A and B are shown apart, each in its own frame.
Chain A
Amino acid sequence: MPANTPIYGFTYPCESDAINASAFSTLANQIDAKLLDIAADRDFAIGRYNVQQDMSPNQGGIASGVATPLTNAGSTYVAPVSGIYVVDGYTSVTATTVTYARIQIRVAATAKFARSVNNETGSPLSGTWSFPGGAVIVTAGQTIDTVITFTGTGTGTATLHLNVRLIVRLA
């Protein structure tokens, strides 16, 4: 019965095993696979997953008081690998009047962090406002997106600039 190395589980035959070409190819393929894995680590160390994207077009039709996911192109990011990602960016929402706004950052449709702004005294909602970086744990294939909420009058239109950076790879 073949045995395996203690760390990576490379397979090698024991003395009692019938040895044929597959014993060589199995071991060679396992070592090759690990080399590719290490090459991926090297690529990650040099150039991490890092995106900066703008939602386009701006998203309109946002009703006051209704938490609305931003869905237009550029508003979401699907994690290519499992890891810890830092998400930040800036946004704006305009309507007839805006007294309050909040952006939530979600992973797989679950809110992870948010930033709110209060415009009751006239600022700072006249323009764009930022949401500083938050670290979120994301599984490969999960989507990072945002939800905007505002209070005021009229129908809102939102802009979004999203930065996502992988800081720790978990797989």
Chain B
Amino acid sequence: MTECFDCMDPANYAAVALKLQQTALAAEACLFPVERSLRSAANLPTLIRTLAAPVACTANVMKVLDTFATLTFTNFTPSPTFGSTFSQLPAGVWQVGAFVNATATGTVDDNTYRQLSIVTRTLFSPTSVANTYTMLETQFEANVGIGVDLTLCTTVALNGNESIQFQFLHGNTSSTLNAATGSFFWAHRLSDEIALKVV
């Protein structure tokens, strides 16, 4: 039997079958790495975590909301230590965002503040150590019965040894606030921290 098409004839079907098998496997071996490279370049690491249940927040006590969230989506293997969380994300430039609906569980103190923050912190640093990055959104309760909707989006540069925290603070002293089910936190890697070449 031969692998050469030129030598095939009606009595040598096995060579045709073998050639087609080799062609199929060779095409697959050629195309798969190209597709993988394109898809990993196009679909950059992304993580979304969502509150599956309300999180009660006491007035003037900072709450790190993302620690209560459950995984909604990820397309990469995050930290081996912390799993699919916002701690120890790979180094690089990340777009980071959050949405929180905060609704009082009892009496509403009209025009008291609601504050959502996206911060980055060095891993395992004590609370006395300042954030490496802070972005805030502050709103004041309008008391219309549906709470306050806070949305934040920013860009941070991570060094691979930091965590992102989504912190919530409020001044509604007459009752606790619930960060609602469906509030979510997300991060999407944009690039390496250093652009090797700008085209």
Contact = CB atoms under 8 A, between A and B. Distances in A.
A118 B140 contact: yes
Given A134-B153, A168-B43, A38 B28 contact: no
Nearest to B30: A31
Interface of A: 3, 5-8, 10-15, 17-19, 23-24, 27, 31, 34-35, 37-38, 41-42, 44-45, 48, 84, 86, 88, 99-100, 102, 104, 112-121, 131-135, 137, 149, 151, 167-169
Interface string B88-107: 00000001010101000000
B39 interface: yes
Contact-size category for B: 35 or more
Interface stretch (B52-60, B119-127, B141-149, B156-164): B141-149
B184 interface: yes
B148 A116 contact: yes
Interface stretch (B12-20, B62-70, B171-179): B12-20
A47 to B, nearest CB: 10
13 contacts: A10-B28, A13-B20, A14-B17, A19-B13, A31-B31, A38-B34, A42-B38, A45-B41, A84-B188, A118-B142, A134-B151, A135-B46, A135-B188
B142 A131 contact: no
Contact of A133 (B18, B43, B153): B153
B27 A12 contact: no
Contact of A167 (B21, B44, B72, B110): B44
Contact of B153 (A15, A19, A132): A132
A126 to B, nearest CB: 16
Given A8-B31, A115-B151, A27 B17 contact: no
Contacts of A18: 13
A12 B13 CA distance: 13
Interface of B: 13-14, 16-18, 20-21, 23-25, 27-28, 31-32, 34-35, 38-39, 41-44, 46, 48, 72-73, 75, 95, 97, 99, 101, 110-111, 137, 139-142, 144, 146-153, 182, 184, 186, 188
Contacts of B24: 5, 10-12, 27, 31
B189 to A, nearest CB: 10
B28 A151 contact: no
A167 B149 contact: no
A113 B32 CA distance: 37
B28 A5 contact: yes
A113 B151 contact: yes
A27 B23 contact: yes
A120 B25 CA distance: 68
Contacts of B25: 5, 10
A12 B23 contact: yes
A169 B42 contact: yes
